[in-house]
Amino acid sequence: MGEIKPEKNTGLMKWWKMMRPHTLSASFVPVALGTALVLPLKTPNVTLFAAMMIASMLIQIATNLFNEYFDFKRGLDNQDSIGIGGSIVRDGFHPKTILRLAFALCFAAMLIGVYICAISSWWIALAGLICILTGYLYSGGPYPIAYTPFGELVSGLFMGVFIIWISFYIQTETLSLNCILISIPIGLLVGGINMANNIRDLTGDKEKGRRTLPILLGRPKSIILLAGIFAFSYVWIIALMLFGVESAWLLIVFASLPKAIQATKLFRNKTKAIQLMPAMKATAQLQTLFGILLSLGLVLDYFI
């Protein structure tokens, strides 16, 4: 048998990987869920839905690029960096190219935001600007959020909870209790993606002076907390059903439970960063499956 050659990052594949596509579920799942919540009230505006989806993903990609640029500028990325970050040092991107592209995507998202505001409410402009600023400050500025214990909280709020709220609000110009309550597990799972990344990078981040939540808690307690986030998300859905907030159709989310178990086991059984890549991938897949199934449950409840 011939030797298996490693995959090369060339051409479009190089650009695609730089955008960290596996993280984009953190933006499109909340938009889908927020729009599905609109169904009992009215037929969603498909154009608004598409605009919100594109704008959210552009902001997410821009946030990833800001992270790429500032990690390089602070000397955190090198040839041995684990994961798909570090495109500047591994794939030859010019740092200014990354930064300019990030700002260009933010500008494009703002243009789409103007359209969304014109159709719905200009209050959305303030919310959108705050989201873009947060995306920049996550890894940029004098005190990057990513270097503190608040990365999970901020990512969960702004890329999970708030995106659901905005997606619902632009369709209805109101905010319901159901929308607020259903956004909670998605926010937790988006934060869980961030925590999975920080658990994987714990050793390297600690050496480079970061103070992430897993560094403060330690690896064993961080894994317990992540598993607790998974468990709480499912318990929350059961509670919504028992208290009559939503129907039993939402229990369809339990089809994603094996992915939660898989991610937890992978984190418990491995310690090296390269070995934890599958665990991080499973965590992102869990958030995607959970959110899609939750949206499907809402759609089935409306039509059946």
- Tell me which amino acid residue 251 is: L
Note the pLDDT of residue 7.
Answer: 46
Which pLDDT value is given to residue 25?
Answer: 78
How far, in whole angstroms, is CA 14 from its chain's centroid? 21
Dist. CA 185–CA 201, nearest whole Å: 24
Query: Strand (E) positions, the chain?
Result: none
* pLDDT for position 2: 41
Q: For 16-303, which CATH class? A: mainly alpha
Q: How far apart are CA 119 and CA 123, in angstroms?
A: 12
pTM for the structure as a whole: 0.89
Q: Which pLDDT does position 1 carry in this prediction?
A: 39
Residue ranges per structural domain of the chain:
16-303
Burial annotation 260-271 (CB, 10 A radius, 16+ → b, else e): bebbbebbeeee
Query: Is the model's pLDDT at 58 over the cut of 70?
Result: yes
Contacts of 127 (CB under 8 A, 6+ apart): 162, 166
**pLDDT for the residue numbered 4:** 37
Give me the percent of the chain exceeding a pLDDT of 70: 91
How do residues 239-278 score in pLDDT, each as one tens digit?
A: 999 998 889 999 999 999 999 999 999 999 877 777 888 8
